Amino acid sequence: MISEFIQKYDEWFQHFFIKSGMGPNLAAVLNVIIVAIIFFSFIYLIDLIIKKIIIWGFKIFSNKTKSTLDDYLVLSHFPDNIAHMIPVYITWYIIPELFKEFPATSAILLKIIDLYIIILIAFIVRSIFRSIKKYLSDKARYKDKPLESYLQVLMIFTWGIALFFIINSLTGYSTISVATLSAASAVLLLIFKDTILGFVASIQVTVNDMVRIGDWVTFSKFGADGYVIEITLATVRIQNFDNTYTTIPTYGLISDSFQNWRGMQESGGRRIKRALFIKQNSVKFLTKEVIDSYKKINLVENYLDHREKGNDQFNETNNIDKSLLINGKNQTNLGVFRKYIEAYLSNNPAVNQDMFLMVRHLAPTEKGIPVEVYCFSKDQRWINFEHIQADIFDHILASASYFDLEIFEFPSGKDLDFKK
């Protein structure tokens, strides 16, 4: 219909201008310009109408379905891009008729339309990929997967194919020859070196399950300590605990060392590993009277009875002279204190009893004797973990004096006040 209209009226303005005394060449040019303006205005109107109809129909369809994929297609402008195809096809079909007296102009416009079609198809494919990515992001099994990096890889391939078709359309030469592909590959490898490294890294990260979105990681080289919130083809974005963001290259995950705390979060316990320092001159052997006073402490009563019987039996069997405490087997206040801490941790409901638990002495230092607590809390959440750890050491610090032990700390100005 449009073609018949153009054939019937495309020279009307030209005849009108010639009758008005205008030269035939200028009349022909003005005729084409006016008809082209009318035609492209008409095509623009058709594009608006078709776009509204398709979007309206697509929204009605998506509202009646339970799947969210069609909703994401609407949000990613898939209907808009599809709607452009019909006016473009009409334009491509009519241009040879419209510019039949100007073949060079017709050829240029057709070439522009060919390029536009290639780009439009790439946009349609992008809309589909984005919709699929958003759809999968709503699924629990894909929430921690680097879908953004896969989308970027697919779009690189899509734009790469589109680029080959554009070159083919502009030059007329096939882009699939060995020489052309070799040159193009060299250029792509040079330009997209980091992208290719990131692509390889994201595959290795996914296959080896090294990092997921939501993992807590510590990356000392880049000063990152927080949760992974995004994994793309080239970068990994980490939200630190001070609410700052650190962006590191994806390839850094396989080329550098980092710490992933996911194992701790999945293990059922979070490690407590901390020491307090005991003054060395407060450590002493225990007399029977002191042992009897310590037996009032419920958590070590049985231990003291058992050790006392064992020590007494050994000393009697070997005729040990007990006029000096150093002779034979004896108990120390530090040893009893260590056993008390173990008993306290073993009876603490906040400590995971199924995981490793130990209280040990470390090598003495100028600060005293380090007594280290090594156990795991049941709750891995940071705030709750800190509360549990604080409660444990509050109790241990307050308990030391019951065993006649002193906690070391550097003297302050008040401690050095000799006027007292």
Q: Domain with 255 in it: what CATH number? A: 2.30.30.60
Neighbouring C-alpha atoms within 13 Å toward the C-beta of 102: 16
Stated length of the chain = 420
The torsion angles phi and psi of 378, rounded to 5 degrees, stand at: -70, -35
Beta-carbon contacts of residue 405 (< 8 Å; ≥ 6 apart):
278, 279, 282, 283, 333, 334, 337
**Beta-bridge partners for 377:** 270, 351
Query: Residue 414 falls within a domain, yes or no?
Result: no
Half-sphere exposure of 315 (CA within 13 A, CB side): 18
Residues 6 or more apart whose Cβ sits within 8 Å of residue 398: none
Tokens at 120, concatenated: 């439009």
Distance CA 103, CA 97 (A): 10
Q: What is the pLDDT of residue 178?
A: 47
Q: For residue 121, count CB atoms less than 10 angstroms from its CB and return exposed for 0-12, middle for 13-18, buried for 19 or more.
A: middle
Q: Please identify, among 241, 267, 293, the residue that sits at the C-terminal boundary of a domain.
A: 267
Question: Is residue 411 included in any domain, yes or no?
Answer: no
Surface-to-core class of residue 317, CB atoms within 10 Å of its CB (0-12 exposed, 13-18 middle, 19+ buried):
exposed
| Cβ atoms of residues 247 and 236 within 8 Å | yes
End-to-end CA distance of the chain: 112
Residues 6+ apart with CB under 8 A from 142: 136
Give a yes or no: residue 412 inside a domain: no
Whether residues 338 and 314 fall in one domain: yes
For residue 32, the model assigns a pLDDT of 64
Residues 303 and 327 in one domain: yes
Judgement on whether residues 397 and 278 belong to the same structural domain of the protein: yes
Same domain (yes/no): 306, 318: yes
CB atoms within 10 A of CB 37: 10
Among 67, 73, 37, which residue's Cα sits nearest to residue 54? 73
Does a structural domain hold residue 160? no
Give, for all 420 residues of the chain, the pLDDT tens digit. Answer: 455 555 455 555 555 556 666 666 666 666 667 666 767 777 778 777 777 777 777 777 766 666 676 677 777 777 777 777 778 877 777 777 766 666 777 777 778 888 888 888 888 888 888 888 777 777 777 666 667 667 777 777 787 778 778 777 777 665 555 445 555 555 555 556 666 677 777 777 766 778 888 888 998 888 899 999 888 777 889 999 888 999 888 888 887 888 888 877 777 788 999 999 999 999 999 999 999 999 999 999 999 999 989 988 998 888 888 888 889 899 999 999 999 999 999 999 999 999 999 999 999 999 999 999 999 999 888 899 999 999 999 999 999 999 999 999 887 766 666 565
In a domain, 416, yes or no: no
Determine the pLDDT at residue 205: 74
Residue 354 lies in a domain: yes
Query: Domain residues for 214?
Result: 142-152+167-267
Q: One-letter amino acid identity for 381?
A: R
The CA distance from 351 to 205, in Å, is 33
Q: Any idea of the CA torsion for 408, 413, 415, 416, to the nearest 10 degrees?
A: 120
Q: Residue 275: beta bridge partners? A: 372
Residues 6+ apart with CB under 8 A from 125: 158
Verify that 47 and 19 share a domain, yes or no: yes
Same domain, yes or no: 47 and 102 = yes
For residues 275 and 393, state if they share a domain.
yes
Between CA 358 and CA 132 the distance in angstroms is 51
pLDDT score for 70: 67
- Number of domains comprising the chain: 3
Q: Is 189 found in the same domain as 256?
A: yes
Residues 191, 257 within the same domain: yes
Q: Is the same domain home to 331 and 398?
A: yes
For the CA atoms of 9, 14, 15, 17, what is the dihedral angle to 10 degrees? 130
Rounded to whole angstroms, the Cα distance separating 25 from 255 reads 70
Residue 51 resides in a domain:
yes
What's the pTM? 0.53
- What span, in angstroms and rounded, lies between the C-alpha atoms of 274 and 271? 10
DSSP letter, residue 325? T
Which of 267, 286, 306 terminates a domain? The answer is 267
Indicate if 354 and 380 belong to the same structural domain: yes
Question: Do 32 and 61 belong to one domain?
Answer: yes
Q: Is residue 157 part of a domain?
A: no
Closest CA to 344 of 272, 289, 406, 407: 272
